[in-house]
Amino acid sequence: MTGSETKAAVEWLTSVTPDPAACRWEWERSLRGIALLPAGRRWDVLILPGELGYPTLDVLTRLIDRPGPVLADSGGSRMGFFVPPGTVSRWMGTGIRGCGQGAWIVVPYPGRATGGVRWLVPPDGSGTLTDAGLLELAMHEAAGAAALDARGERPERRVGRQRS
């Protein structure tokens, strides 16, 4: 991330806190380099198990240039996709946790590594979020591919036009 991108990302992230200066202080001076931010204001976060999250992110990055911010825990067992606010209240997926209004999430400083959580796709400060419908489609494709792999069935990929 460039300096201006980092500054924009910090401003966007801290804009949801009651005290942005305190949030920046936590990032800059605490040993952990993390801050707690409230979800449900500018974004919700859908938390997927890593075994579904990583293939879902792969599908997303093939479909769109840049998904919204994505966090992962240090062990890779969970991933958090930033989606529009209100998504969690309408989400009905099994095995997917949601952080919306009234929830808080652990967030590292953009562009820095911490011991417990890291950005896979850092925020760019523009407010870009992953569309929940597109995320759901990507999850279905990733889950379907994993099911086929588990059975030893790999679908043939066709590039270009299909022949009649």
DSSP-derived secondary structure for 42-100: S-EEEEEEHHHHHHHHHHHHHHSS--S-EEEETTSSEEEEEE-TTHHHH---TT-EEE-
Using pLDDT thresholds of 50, 70 and 90, give the confidence band for residue 155. Answer: low
* 57-74 pLDDT, tens digit each: 999 999 998 999 999 998
Instruction: Give the bridge partners for 157, in sequence order.
Output: none
pTM: 0.87
* 87-120 pLDDT, tens digit each: 999 988 778 999 999 999 999 998 777 878 999 9
Which pLDDT value is given to residue 134?
Answer: 95
* 3-49 pLDDT, tens digit each: 888 899 999 999 999 899 999 988 888 777 889 999 999 999 999 99
Tell me which of 161 and 62 has the higher pLDDT. 62
Q: Which residues contact 120 (CB under 8 A, 6 or more apart)?
A: 57, 70, 71, 72, 79
Indicate the helix (H) or strand (E) that contains 120.
Answer: strand 117-121
Tell me which of 147 and 22 has the higher pLDDT. 22
